[in-house]
Structure 1
Amino acid sequence: MTELLDAKRMRQEILKGIILDLHAGKDLEELKARFAKLIQNVSASEIAEMEDRLIAEGMPPEEVKRMCDVHVAVFKEALEQQESPDSLPGHPVHTFRLENRAIEKVVQSLKELLDQLAAAGKPDLAGYSQALQSQLSLLAEIDKHYLRKENQLFPVLEKRGIYGPPKVMWQVHDDIRTMLKATTRAVDEGNAQAVIDHGNKLLTAVSDMIYKEENILFPMSLETLSESDWGKVRIGEEEIGYTLVSPGNRWQPPAAREDEPVAEPGVTPGAIKLNTGELSPDQVNLMLTHLPIDITFVDEHGQVRYYSQGMHRIFPRSPGIIGRKVQDCHPVDSVHVVNRIVEEFKTGSKDQAEFWLEVDGRFVHIRYFAVRDTQGNYRGVVEVTQDVTDIRALQGQKRLLDW
């Protein structure tokens, strides 16, 4: 163990020396050769770790960042000779990097606009607003890039025991979202100086995040995750969407292997496998009974199969209705309406019906939804009843952090 630590410290000193020589303007080819020798038996994760340690020791991040160019130059020839999976269009990392190149173009365009605005003796948005709004609208697409990291990549990393980088990056994503809103608001309000101030902070944060992705997150992820893991990242990406690019399809997700040693949560005996996850019958029951709505499900044969037993039901229900025809659960004078709703759901001419009324001074919203399977076949009706009195009275905003 001591020998391993000593070797790490030695590599750290070598890297520090290379960066200092790079700063001093020494021959780039000689530095590339030294760096190539250093990383022969060193992972990208350790390189990132060494760089972080140098920053922690006081070396300016800008100096460490310059090392990235040498890093890329050393690996360029090998990458051209050998096609790794992440170099194939369609691989999640390839798509993330492709998006980063598109984002960098938008950042550059915005930077030029902000520099022109700042160069004016008295900053004025006249003549700049439309261009700024256009570029900020493009930059807002970055949210899809971040959402795919948060919802597709981070969960798979966490299953491999990696929690730190995802948590930190997610916080920075939110900071960038806030900066983007502030910059856009400043443009809308015509506040030129605020546009310059907020805009420059935003562009710096976006560029820094790209650097962290390219030099820490992606190399670490490629070393840690299996092809099957990357398949899990890839599946579902299209539901979120992409930022300013369309991914290729040369790389295809491999079939997930059941024997892969991924730290999956333990499967609950008797669990019900759903489209997105699995729950035990007890969990399903608890979830449905704790929703602030009343639910009743009628199958394709018109029989009541289920109703939720919430704490505050709006309309009374009892076990006696289970198996009963839905028409028999309504007053005679409204059965013809029930029949019409069901018939239109069956034929596909309607998918939803809604009604609202006052009950004991409360405003109640009732909705019926047609239930269809993946082939479009009619499978029943879900009735959702909700007391929306308090919801109708809401004003302004209350965010999660206001709780």
Structure 2
Amino acid sequence: MSEIINNRELQTPNTTKRQSILKQIFKDLHDGKNVKEVKAHFDAFIGKITIDEISQLQHDFGDLSVEEMHRLHAKHTEIFKGAIEEAEKTNKPEEQPGHPIHTFVLENKELDKLVNTQLQVHLGQFEIEDSQEIVLLLLEDINLLLDIDKHYSRKENLIFPYLETYGIYGPTNNMWRINDFIRDAIKDARKKLASYNGEKQAVIELINFVIQEVITMIYREENILFPMALNNFTEDEWLKIARESDEIGYCLIAPTEVWKPERHALDEKAISEGYIKMETGILSLKQLELLLNQLPVDLTFIDQDDVVRYFSHGKERIFARTKAVIGRTVQNCHPPRSVHVVEELLADFKAGRKDTEDFWIKFRDKYVYIRYFAVRDENGKYMGTLEFTQNIDPIQAIEGEKRIMS
């Protein structure tokens, strides 16, 4: 890196030479070179970096181990600070109330307020005196912070799928893992506080970790992820994201207005009035959709290529689904830490080793029965997988007999 570089040439963001230098700088970082030294090279030879270049770098370095990814993201953030070029825009729809980015930023402001002016203050009091009263104050703060799951879930289920359609996989592979680290740390903090037994230092270190990671994630979102999405997504895609955000919910605050861009909103396609002739009857598409949505279960179907093709949309879904998952591979619809389970199940179905697999879990206030069925044609050829999810608490509560109408 000590060679003389023509800085004027480097100001053209897409030159081969600039890309080569960027890769070498980040390779040095990955190889464990001193961060200050790497940043000095970055400042001297690159200076500013665009969102597109960051996206390409994340893609080039591919998937990382959990430990490596967590270590490097902190270093990347340190190098990026103050170096990201802002895209010039004359009209900024993301600043309009109701736009998904506007809502994300409002949530980040509330999260920043919660961790810096509330959680941090109570933690300082706890360091002086770990009384029951202060422990309860911290527990209240952590319970509020659990709401961050909705913020992250909207990223994962609405932003990430569209980024993938543009060939951008870095956030899906790496940011989702960090989201999970933060979720787990918050839950761990709640557990330690709820059953506090005097492990003061452990609680202090854990909550400091949570505060730091939440603040750092806010920076990554607002300086990398959101600009990356804004540079690529169409207005129609943002409209779809805005419309599907309600299903997942909001963190600490909700939009007070519906986003209405200047251009007329995307018209929803009416369901065709055509009919489907099946072996045992005929239904219109409208009737079929109403029938499937009326079932007291959640259905999801993926095809033989692992692509999500359909999910039912009943009144009370157990797990959140958004239309953004349609056309997305099922592997990218699951947190990275559970993808191996999905892969193993699908491999068994495709090889004919299994036709079904069942799971049952406690999820919030429900007892959930999850069933997977290999869908095969009349010749036994694998055509896809059906996921069947049901809350079986009401069924387990049944006693005796009922022979007449209530």
How many angstroms apart in 1 are the aligned matches of 2:81 and 2:196?
39
When the two chains are superposed, the root-mean-square deviation of aligned CA atoms in Å is 5.1
| SS class of match (1:103) | helix
Runs (5+) with no aligned partner, structure 1: 259-263, 273-277, 293-385, 394-403
| Aligned amino acid, residue 243 of structure 1 | C
Per the alignment, residue 114 of structure 1 pairs with 123
How many angstroms apart in 1 are the aligned matches of 2:70 and 2:247?
43
Q: Which residues in structure 2 correspond to 1:3-402 (within 5 Å)? A: 7-13=18-24, 23=36, 31=43, 35-36=47-48, 39=50, 43=53, 45-46=55-56, 61-71=73-83, 74-75=85-86, 82-108=90-116, 109-118=118-127, 120=128, 124-158=130-164, 160=166, 165-166=171-172, 168-193=174-199, 194-247=202-255, 249=257, 252-253=260-261, 255=264, 270=274, 390-391=396-397
> Is contact 1:141–1:243 with CA below 8 Å preserved after alignment?
yes
Q: 1:290 to 1:99 in 2, by over 3 A?
A: closer
Q: 1:45 to 1:85 in 2, by over 3 A?
A: farther
Encode CA deviations 1:111-133: one digit per residue, 9 max, x unaligned: 34334434x4xx62344123213
| SS class of match (2:252) | coil
> Is contact 2:239–2:266 with CA below 8 Å preserved after alignment?
no
Higher radius of gyration, 1 or 2:
1
Q: 1:197 to 1:268 in 2, by over 3 A?
A: farther
1:222 positional shift: 1.8
Per the alignment, residue 324 of structure 2 pairs with none
> Is contact 1:48–1:215 with CA below 8 Å preserved after alignment?
no
Encode CA deviations 1:115-164: one digit per residue, 9 max, x unaligned: 4434x4xx623441232133223312222212322443344445556566
Per the alignment, residue 321 of structure 2 pairs with none
How many angstroms apart in 2 are the aligned matches of 1:147 and 1:62?
22
1:9 positional shift: 0.9
How many residues get paired? Answer: 277
How many angstroms apart in 2 are the aligned matches of 1:62 and 1:209?
10
Per the alignment, residue 331 of structure 2 pairs with none
| Aligned amino acid, residue 176 of structure 1 | I
How many angstroms apart in 2 are the aligned matches of 1:92 and 1:104?
18
Encode CA deviations 1:274-308: one digit per residue, 9 max, x unaligned: xxxx968778778878969xxxxxxxxxxxxxxxx
Encode CA deviations 1:71-124: one digit per residue, 9 max, x unaligned: 35x53xx76x84433233332112212211221222223234334434x4xx62
How many angstroms apart in 2 are the aligned matches of 1:35 and 1:212?
19
| SS class of match (2:155) | helix
1:173 positional shift: 3.7
Q: 1:111 to 1:71 in 2, by over 3 A?
A: same
How many angstroms apart in 2 are the aligned matches of 1:58 and 1:209?
12
| Aligned amino acid, residue 71 of structure 1 | A
Q: 1:202 to 1:192 in 2, by over 3 A?
A: farther
Encode CA deviations 1:215-264: one digit per residue, 9 max, x unaligned: 44223222221111001111132444432334365952554558xxxxx9
Name the TM-score, length of structure 2 as normaliser.
Answer: 0.50
| Aligned amino acid, residue 130 of structure 2 | D
How many angstroms apart in 1 are the aligned matches of 2:123 and 2:153?
27
Higher relative contact order, chain-length normalized (CA < 8 Å, sep 6+): 2
| Aligned amino acid, residue 113 of structure 1 | H
1:192 positional shift: 4.4
Deviates more, 1:226-235 or 1:171-180: 171-180
Q: 1:116 to 1:16 in 2, by over 3 A?
A: farther
| Aligned amino acid, residue 46 of structure 1 | Q
Name the TM-score, length of structure 1 as normaliser.
Answer: 0.51
**How many percent identity over aligned positions?**
31
1:389 positional shift: 5.7
How many angstroms apart in 2 are the aligned matches of 1:96 and 1:177?
17
